[in-house]
């Protein structure tokens, strides 16, 4: 056995070669969930039946409207204000939506006074009921709709919603026919509403055309009157302007142009002088910014003062250089000469600043001169424009008068056409057939409802079964153990009562005691099968030390271990059952007296092994735990326990270790590697698969050989009904071989 791996005799199950589905498995699942399936399906079907029986009969009738794309031309030379509908499929779909619109439904409500019908106005029905019981509340019931505009609007919206709920408007194929169907509890009201929608749809078309023509006439009348006044005023302005200006050419334009030409020359000269002055000023400013000493000044910026200072500076520089060659830098005369040179440079800078000030004044004068000349040019140009304005204005007035005259004549002609069209407008649709009062209800349809209810019931029942299987926590059969856990299936230990026709036959007997009394029972046979599966789980090796564990408490671990010990003893094996559950010590309940010494006392040296062993009536030996057996020390990892286990191997054929649940206590993880095989027990249909896989994962990497998983407390009667794929499925067939 490789101590670094989690040994299992088979690999995890794979569905790669399995069929897509097994009909027998599906049947077994439905047999297993038959009660759930029947309950859900019956509940859904009964609900559908009750709904069908209680549903109020409703009647449907329909009217047909045809979109008439043919336009009747009473006056062929006149165009309508609102044109007819084009022969377009999208237009028909649009008209269908118009028939479904809330505005049209609101007009139906107003015309038929549906707001006074309790069927559509629930507040009226409620008010009548209250008034019937409390007449003195007549003036106070439902007054909010009349006093509160918001409440009234909400009530109207609810009424419109109720009206639209019975309406069904659809297009008949790709034709120009629209079917207006209405469904109501009252057949006469259904026909009335269907016809009302069709009639008001046509009325709305006519009103839209009448309103459009009316608005067009009103607008045209107003515009024609306005344009008439504008035309008269424009023509009068043209005449008055001609008289006032004599329409003569401006002969003085030549003088003005000559004046403008001279001013332009002066402006050019002034701008050139300004540019020159600005350039000299910028040069001086740049030299001052660089700290110039006057050597690089141009002729335009030279002055006698600067020339004199420059001469002095040259002489002083020569003096400084001569003294610097002869004397030390700290020589007083040299220091004085350099100070005088610095004073000359300061005077040069001051003179440059004065020159810049003069240049700035000159630049300001140049700018003022340029501005003055530019103003004169602008004034002269204004005079020229005034001289020529008369002819320009005259042409403008004539164009204005002509445009007003053209627009006036056009609108006057259109006004005459629209006035002639009033009274001859026609809708773009007509009612092809009117709705009649139906003689039989269209809803409900019992046969359809029952068929749909049956389908829904079967679907709901199937969905409930599928959901229950998905959410199923436990394991049922051998196939599920090997497929979902990937470990061998060792067998099952049945629930004792499920093996008996009369459960009272085993009353008062614990399963291990029943095993002794009924050695040929199905319960005893299941333990013999489990014994064989465990002992032969390691091919070619002898299994002597067997650790029996589970993932959670309450899975029948101690009962199974003790019963397995009695089964092994009955087969002639020298077997010992060791209680390794330090927290519970559950084997003691199968002993006639409470032990005074046990496993812990043997490990501590307080008692010998022979003193602690208890001889069971089956021939098996039991190494129990006393009530004070729990100790915080590492019992199963100690050398004393290993010596004890070695001694038990020598003295007994089989050593059964009843351990604590893996997920609850850490002791089992320490103990498991010392066993030749570990048997994992899981309670049939109860232990969650996640709990089992979590427990198995705790044994990985500990050198543990897992013999497999056995299911405990299996109900053989239930398993024979729906445990397809498991030996329990055939329990009824081989039950006669047992003496239960």
Residue 246 lies in a domain: no
- Which pLDDT score, from 0 to 100, does residue 550 have? 94
Question: 528 and 639 in contact (C-beta within 8 Å)?
Answer: no
Residue 418 lies in a domain: no
Cβ neighbors of 223 (< 8 A, separation 6 or more) are 411
Tokens 């607008």 sit at which residue? 219
Question: 443 and 71 in contact (C-beta within 8 Å)?
Answer: no
Position 629 confidence tier, pLDDT thresholds 50, 70, 90: low
Of 436 and 34, which is predicted with more confidence?
436
Q: What is the DSSP letter of 738?
A: S
| Strand order through the sheet with 167-171 | 167-171, 177-184, 59-67, 429-433
What is the rounded CA–CA span in Å between residue 444 and residue 50? Answer: 12
Question: 570 and 512 in contact (C-beta within 8 Å)?
Answer: no
Mean pLDDT, all residues of the chain: 79
Alpha helices, DSSP H only, in 422-497? Answer: 446-471, 478-485
Q: What is the pLDDT of residues 184-195, one digit of tens each?
A: 888 999 899 999
Q: Is 458 exposed, middle or buried (0-12, 13-18, 19+ CB in 10 A)?
A: middle
- Which pLDDT score, from 0 to 100, does residue 152 have? 85
- Which pLDDT score, from 0 to 100, does residue 82 have? 47
Backbone angles phi, psi at 64, to 5 degrees: -120, 130
Counted domains in the chain: 4
Residue 179 lies in a domain: yes
Shared-domain flag, residues 458 and 496: no
- Which pLDDT score, from 0 to 100, does residue 531 have? 94
Q: What is the pLDDT of residues 314-352, one digit of tens each?
A: 888 888 888 878 877 888 877 888 888 888 888 887 877
Shared-domain flag, residues 383 and 449: no
371-380 as b/e: b if 16+ CB within 10 A: eebbebbeeb
Evaluate if residue 6 carries a pLDDT over 60: no
CA distances (Å), origin 218, targets 146, 221, 223, 414, 418: 37, 5, 9, 12, 10
Shared-domain flag, residues 65 and 36: no
- For residue 460, the enclosing domain spans 23-51+444-469
Evaluate if residue 127 carries a pLDDT over 80: no
Evaluate if residue 613 carries a pLDDT over 90: yes
Question: 578 and 658 in contact (C-beta within 8 Å)?
Answer: yes
Shared-domain flag, residues 185 and 67: yes
- Which pLDDT score, from 0 to 100, does residue 488 have? 94
- Which pLDDT score, from 0 to 100, does residue 43 have? 92
631-645 as b/e: b if 16+ CB within 10 A: eeeebbeeeebeebb
Query: Is there a cis peptide before residue 418, judged by omega within 30 degrees of 0?
Result: no
Q: What is the pLDDT of residues 403-436, one digit of tens each?
A: 878 887 787 777 677 676 665 667 778 888 998 9
Which token pair is 300?
């335009």
- Which pLDDT score, from 0 to 100, does residue 658 have? 95
Please give the radius of gyration of the chain, using alpha carbons only, rounded to the nearest integer.
Answer: 58
CA distances (Å), origin 303, targets 273, 306, 309, 310, 363: 21, 5, 10, 11, 19
CATH code of the domain covering residue 549: 3.40.50.300
Tokens 């026709």 sit at which residue? 501
Shared-domain flag, residues 87 and 27: no
Cβ neighbors of 287 (< 8 A, separation 6 or more) are 296, 297, 352
Last residue of a domain, one of 469, 503, 524: 469
Shared-domain flag, residues 543 and 659: yes
Evaluate if residue 250 carries a pLDDT over 70: no
Evaluate if residue 586 carries a pLDDT over 50: yes
Task: Kindly report which listed range (14-28, 160-174, 521-535) carries the lowest average pLDDT score.
Answer: 14-28
Shared-domain flag, residues 510 and 537: yes
- Which pLDDT score, from 0 to 100, does residue 129 have? 46
Residue 214 lies in a domain: no
- In sequence order, what are the beta bridge partners of 650? none
Give me the percent of the chain exceeding a pLDDT of 70: 79
CA distances (Å), origin 361, targets 305, 356, 494: 20, 9, 124
Shared-domain flag, residues 183 and 331: no
Annotate 132-163 with DSSP letters as a single string.
Answer: HH-GGGTTTSS-HHHH-HHHHHHHHHHHHHHH
Ranked by mean pLDDT, the top range of 205-209, 383-387, 541-545, 720-724 is 541-545
DSSP 3-state assignment of 1?
A: coil
Position 4 confidence tier, pLDDT thresholds 50, 70, 90: very low
CA distances (Å), origin 644, targets 19, 203, 277, 406, 636: 51, 107, 122, 126, 10
Evaluate if residue 583 carries a pLDDT over 70: yes
Last residue of a domain, one of 363, 388, 413: 388
Q: Please provide the distance, in angstroms rounded to a whole number, between the alpha carbons at the two ends of the chain.
A: 41
CA distances (Å), origin 549, targets 379, 513, 552, 664, 710: 117, 22, 9, 11, 10
Residues in the chain: 740
- Which pLDDT score, from 0 to 100, does residue 650 have? 96
Give the pLDDT mean for 204-210.
Answer: 81
What is the rounded CA–CA span in Å between residue 650 and residue 674? Answer: 15
Residue 2 lies in a domain: no
Shared-domain flag, residues 278 and 354: yes
Of 91 and 444, which is predicted with more confidence?
91
3-state helix, strand, coil in the chain (%, to 5): 60, 10, 30
- Which pLDDT score, from 0 to 100, does residue 168 have? 93
- Which pLDDT score, from 0 to 100, does residue 367 have? 81
Question: 666 and 558 in contact (C-beta within 8 Å)?
Answer: no
Residue 9 lies in a domain: no
Residue 737 lies in a domain: no
Give the pLDDT mean for 544-549.
Answer: 96
CA distances (Å), origin 695, targets 8, 487, 637, 714: 15, 13, 20, 21
Residue 235 lies in a domain: no
- Which pLDDT score, from 0 to 100, does residue 257 have? 55
Position 369 confidence tier, pLDDT thresholds 50, 70, 90: confident
Of 257 and 204, which is predicted with more confidence?
204
Shared-domain flag, residues 47 and 64: no
Of 9 and 577, which is predicted with more confidence?
577
Give the pLDDT mean for 366-371.
Answer: 81
Shared-domain flag, residues 151 and 269: no
Shared-domain flag, residues 380 and 513: no
Last residue of a domain, one of 388, 403, 436: 388
Give me the percent of the chain exceeding a pLDDT of 90: 24
Q: Is 19 exposed, middle or buried (0-12, 13-18, 19+ CB in 10 A)?
A: exposed
Position 655 confidence tier, pLDDT thresholds 50, 70, 90: very high
């Amino acid at each position: 056995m490789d101590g670094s791996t989690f040994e299992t005799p088979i690999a995890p199950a794979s569905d790669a070669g399995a069929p897509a589905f097994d009909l027998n498995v599906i049947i077994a699942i439905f047999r297993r969930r038959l009660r759930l399936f029947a309950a859900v399906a019956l509940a859904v079907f009964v609900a559908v039946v009750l709904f069908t029986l209680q549903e109020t009969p409703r009647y449907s009738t329909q009217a047909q409207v045809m979109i008439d794309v043919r336009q009747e031309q009473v006056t062929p030379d006149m165009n309508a204000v609102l044109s007819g509908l084009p022969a377009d499929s999208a237009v028909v779909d649009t008209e269908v939506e118009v028939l479904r619109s809330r505005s049209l439904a609101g007009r139906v409500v107003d015309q038929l006074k549906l707001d006074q019908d309790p069927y559509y106005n629930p507040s009226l029905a409620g008010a009548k009921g209250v008034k019937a019981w409390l007449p003195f509340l007549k003036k106070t019931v439902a007054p909010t709709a009349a006093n509160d505009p918001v409440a009234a609007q909400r009530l109207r919206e609810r009424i419109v919603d109720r009206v639209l709920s019975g309406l069904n408007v659809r297009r008949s194929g790709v034709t120009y026919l629209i079917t207006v169907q209405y469904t109501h509890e009252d057949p006469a009201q259904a026909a009335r509403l269907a016809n009302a929608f069709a009639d008001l749809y046509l009325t709305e078309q006519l009103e839209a055309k009448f309103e459009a023509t009316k608005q067009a006439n009103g607008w045209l009348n107003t515009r024609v009157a306005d344009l008439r006044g504008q035309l008269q005023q424009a023509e009068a302005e043209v005449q008055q302007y001609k008289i006032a200006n004599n329409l003569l050419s401006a002969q003085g334009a030549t003088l003005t142009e000559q004046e403008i030409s001279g001013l332009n020359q002066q402006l050019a000269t002034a701008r050139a002088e300004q540019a020159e002055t600005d350039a000299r000023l910028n040069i001086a400013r740049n030299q001052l910014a660089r700290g110039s000493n006057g050597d690089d000044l141009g002729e335009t910026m030279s002055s006698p003062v600067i020339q004199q200072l420059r001469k002095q500076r040259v002489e002083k520089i020569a003096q400084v250089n001569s003294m610097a060659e002869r004397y030390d830098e700290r020589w007083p005369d040299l220091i004085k000469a350099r100070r005088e040179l610095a004073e000359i440079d300061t005077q040069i800078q001051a003179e440059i600043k004065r020159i810049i000030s003069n240049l700035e004044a000159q630049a300001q004068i140049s700018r003022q001169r340029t501005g003055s000349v530019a103003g004169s040019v602008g004034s002269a140009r204004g005079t020229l424009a005034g001289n020529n304005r008369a002819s320009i204005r005259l042409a403008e007035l004539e164009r204005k008068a002509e445009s007003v005259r053209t627009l006036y004549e056009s609108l006057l002609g259109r006004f005459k056409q629209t006035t002639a069209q009033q009274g001859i407008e026609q809708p773009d649709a007509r009612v092809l057939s009117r709705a009649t009062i139906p003689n039989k209800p269209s809803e409900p349809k019992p046969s359809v409802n029952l068929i749909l209810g049956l389908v829904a019931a079967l679907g709901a029942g199937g969905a409930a079964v599928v959901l229950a299987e998905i959410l199923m926590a436990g394991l049922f059969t051998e196939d599920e153990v090997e497929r979902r856990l990937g470990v061998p299936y060792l067998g099952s230990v049945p629930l004792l009562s499920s093996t008996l026709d009369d459960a009272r036959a085993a009353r008062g007997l614990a399963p291990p005691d029943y095993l002794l009394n009924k050695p040929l029972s199905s319960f005893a046979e299941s333990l013999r099968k489990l014994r064989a599966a465990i002992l032969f789980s390691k091919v070619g090796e002898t299994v002597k030390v067997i650790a029996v564990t589970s993932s959670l408490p309450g899975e029948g671990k101690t009962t199974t271990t003790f019963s397995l010990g009695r089964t092994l003893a009955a087969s002639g094996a020298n077997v010992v059952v060791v209680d390794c559950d330090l927290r519970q010590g559950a084997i003691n309940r199968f002993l006639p007296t409470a032990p005074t010494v046990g496993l812990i006392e043997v490990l501590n040296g307080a008692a010998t092994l022979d003193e602690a062993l208890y001889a069971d009536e089956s021939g098996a030996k039991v190494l129990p735990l006393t009530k004070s057996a729990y100790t915080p020390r590492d019992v199963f990892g100690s050398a004393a326990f290993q010596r004890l286990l070695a001694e038990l191997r020598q003295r007994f054929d089989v050593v059964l270790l009843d351990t604590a649940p893996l997920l609850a206590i850490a002791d089992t993880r320490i103990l498991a590697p010392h066993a030749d095989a570990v048997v994992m027990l899981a309670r049939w249909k109860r232990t969650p698969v996640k709990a089992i896989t979590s427990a198995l994962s705790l044994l990985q990497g500990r050198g543990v050989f897992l013999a497999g998983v056995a299911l405990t407390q299996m109900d053989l009667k239930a398993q024979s009904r729906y445990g397809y794929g498991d030996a329990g499925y055939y329990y009824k067939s081989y039950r006669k071989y047992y003496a239960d």
